[in-house]
Amino acid sequence: MASPELVSFCCVGDDHLSGWVINYQNSPYNIVCLASSVFSIVGTVVQLLPKRVTPAESMRLRRSRDPFTSQKKIVMWLIVADLLACLGIFLRSMVWLAGDDHHLKDSATPATVFCAFIGGWIQLFYITTYFWTFCYAVDVFIIMKGFNGLRCCQYNISKLWVYHVISWGMAIVLTGEGLTFLFYPSGWECEDGKSHLVPNYLSTYIPIVLVMILNPILYISSSRSGKTTY
């Protein structure tokens, strides 16, 4: 549903890629994407709804110093990023089911522009979820190692702001880099050869690989710190 390959299909001027678009823009595929995105949107919205808290619980939460408060905020922003990505898949599926958007090889039509924009939108916010997942593991590591009270870079900057810069900033840089190489310099037409596709793929798959490798290492190190503490 969020493969960077779908963004590459938006390039015009390549019969092979245009054929892939036709194969992917079929009813079964889009129905599955639509149903999955609806379930995800409902789930994320439910998690973002405010929880009922009694006055006594509210007072207790204000007085307590929960070291895991930052993790709750990280989870909230992870949910927000996932919600935005799912909204992109929902919109793309609705548009592709409602109309004929297969003519992407003749010129930079509105269908081509929409294909590129919504593909970049989905790619951006899913990359953001990877980095928020990484920041969650980093925060667990920081807390378990006893560094939770430190300020970043000797300035009065909270951890959460650093996580925002990492998650949103890296996602914007990687998505922008991938799309730039994909469409540069012609704007919409794919260049000769497929080498321009590689940076767009790497911008998505590198964060996934890094999270899969680094997160288990951070969690293992954190769990060992917890055993030592208790």
User: Where are the chain's structural domains?
Assistant: 4-229
Q: Is residue 81 exposed (0-12), middle (13-18) or buried (19+ Cβ within 10 Å)? A: buried
Cα–Cα distance, 75 to 41 (Å, whole number): 15
pLDDT at residue number 102: 46
**pLDDT tens, 102-124?**
444 445 567 777 888 888 899 99
Which CATH fold topology does 4-229 show? Rhopdopsin 7-helix transmembrane proteins (1.20.1070)
Q: Which residue has the higher pLDDT, 139 or 147?
A: 139
Beta carbons within 10 angstroms of residue 55's beta carbon: 7
Q: Is residue 99 exposed (0-12), middle (13-18) or buried (19+ Cβ within 10 Å)? A: exposed
**Among 151-155, 157-161, 216-220, which is the least confidently predicted range?**
151-155
Kindly indicate the confidence band of residue 155, based on its pLDDT and cuts at 50, 70 and 90. Answer: very low
| pLDDT, average across residues 46-58 | 71
Mean pLDDT, the chain, rounded, equals: 77
